[in-house]
Homo-oligomer: A and B are copies of this chain.
Amino acid sequence: MYIILVYDVAPKRGAKVLKYLRQHLIWVQNSVFEGEITESRFEEVLHGLKEIINKEKDSIIFYTFDSKNYYARGIIGIEKNETDSFI
């Protein structure tokens, strides 16, 4: 399945979340990741995130799709991540 994940985490935990997510998904922008991942693998990622964040203060929202075909992706300004091709 395909994931878009956004996080809003206090700075002291932000660096750890960023580092962790870089191992599993593709960094897109600021606190946004995308990626193709299996459901079971993603369950593991969520489990790992729960270990890092403060569930009373931080927020991680994820949108899951069966396929990238379900959405169109657009951009204005620059692509912050120029090392990966998304389109």
Seen from chain A, the residues whose Cβ lies within 8 Å of a Cβ on chain B are: 4, 6-9, 28-32, 46, 49-50, 53-65, 70-80
Contacts and interface: CB of A to CB of B under 8 A. Distances in A.
Closest 6 CB pairs of A and B: A70-B70, A8-B30, A8-B29, A58-B77, A59-B77, A63-B71
So how many copies of this chain end up in the complex?
A: 2
Nearest to A65: B71
B6 A28 contact: yes
Contacts of A61: 28-29, 32, 73-75
A75 to B, nearest CB: 5
Contacts of A65: 70-71
A70 B73 contact: no
